[in-house]
């Protein structure tokens, strides 16, 4: 399966956001990950549809929105209108995940389901047939810059098995503490989409070199 690198703009310098997005695009990033936090589902605030709207005309990369919010249903129309290409909701955030998943797809955008590190992985099974992507959180959601949780590896292996059994075209994304070292472990366990914020936008040698290095090492790990 193709490996995709998804820089998370949560770690970017917002005064230079457009320039940095173009930099990672030119370096081979595959999509941009937009972390949306409401101060309720997670104890932090971040960004909303205006950021997606602002980025839409300056990049050809797909914009994927990771909704860490209560009542995700309330925000779907605004993100779709702003130009999001995929919306990822948390299984833990809504009682009616299936109807929200169907609503997102009916609006012509891709749909993903995220689970937090302590959520049993089996919760994804009833939805798998209708998903484009499963997001396995590898830190507690809410903040960038945290350390990858090592117990995630077994979860990734087991989610990959569920995907192969139920919907082999579904992507498996990992998010949280992904750097060159943990990306290789995640890819070997079965992940194919790598979200990285701090490791890309906080890299000493800059976001372009970090994007290229992550792509190259993951492709090598997969071979
Ligand atoms: O969803 C997130 C946090 O809830 C972020 O996408 C994630 O933390 C990426 O940041 P970093 O690579 O710095 O860990
Ligand atoms: Co995220």
What's the structural domain count of the chain?
Answer: 1
Atom number, ligand 1, closest to the C-alpha of residue 179: 12
How confident is the model over 61-93, as pLDDT tens digits?
A: 999 999 999 999 999 999 999 999 999 999 999
Asked if residue 200 lies in contact with residue 213, where contact means CB atoms within 8 angstroms, the answer is: no
Sign of torsion over alpha carbons 72, 74, 79, 81: positive
Distance CA 157, CA 7 (A): 23
Asked if residue 37 lies in contact with residue 68, where contact means CB atoms within 8 angstroms, the answer is: yes
Distance CA 54, CA 192 (A): 28
Q: Give pTM, 2 decimals.
A: 0.98
Asked if residue 79 lies in contact with residue 87, where contact means CB atoms within 8 angstroms, the answer is: yes
* Whole-number average pLDDT of the chain: 97
Q: What is the pLDDT of residue 222?
A: 82
Residue 173, classified by CB atoms within 10 Å of its CB into exposed (0-12), middle (13-18) or buried (19+), is buried
From 25, 32, 26, select the one nearest 193 (Cα to Cα): 32
Distance 65 CA to ligand 2 centre (A): 8
Q: Residue 211 is encoded by which pair of tokens?
A: 């994007």
Length of the chain: 223
CATH of residue 12: 3.20.20.70
Q: Residue 187 is encoded by which pair of tokens?
A: 């890819």
Asked if residue 88 lies in contact with residue 133, where contact means CB atoms within 8 angstroms, the answer is: yes
Distance 164 CA to ligand 2 centre (A): 24
Residue 219, pLDDT > 90, answer no
Whether 38 is a known active-site residue: answer no
Instruction: Quote the domain boundaries for residue 101.
Output: 4-222
Higher pLDDT, 94 or 203: 203
Q: What is the pLDDT of residue 193?
A: 98
How confident is the model over 150-181, as pLDDT tens digits?
A: 999 999 999 999 999 999 999 999 999 999 99
Sign of torsion over alpha carbons 151, 143, 39, 61: negative
Looking at ligand 1, which residue's alpha carbon is closest to its atom 8? 144
Q: What is the pLDDT of residue 44?
A: 98
């Amino acid at each position: 399966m193709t490996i995709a690198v998804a820089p998370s703009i949560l770690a970017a310098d917002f005064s230079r956001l457009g320039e940095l997005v173009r930099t990672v695009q030119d370096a081979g990033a595959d999509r941009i990950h937009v972390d949306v936090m409401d101060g309720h589902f997670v104890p932090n605030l971040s960004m909303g549809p205006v950021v997606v709207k602002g980025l839409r005309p300056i990049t050809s990369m797909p914009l994927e929105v990771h909704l860490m919010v209560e009542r995700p249903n309330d925000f779907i129309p605004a993100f779709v209108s702003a130009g999001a290409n995929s919306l990822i909701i948390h299984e833990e955030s809504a009682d009616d995940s299936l109807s929200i998943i169907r609503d997102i797809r009916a609006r012509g955008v891709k749909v993903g389901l995220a689970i937090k590190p302590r959520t049993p992985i089996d919760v994804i099974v009833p939805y798998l047939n209708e998903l484009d992507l499963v997001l396995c959180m590898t830190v507690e959601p809410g903040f960038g810059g945290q350390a990858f949780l090592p117990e995630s590896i077994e979860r990734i292996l087991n989610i990959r098995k569920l995907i192969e059994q139920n919907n082999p075209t579904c992507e498996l994304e990992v998010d949280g503490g992904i750097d060159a070292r943990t990306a290789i472990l995640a890819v070997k366990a079965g992940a194919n989409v790598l979200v990285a914020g701090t490791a890309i936008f906080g890299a000493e040698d800059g976001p372009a070199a970090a994007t290229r290095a992550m792509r190259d090492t993951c492709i090598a790990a997969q071979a």
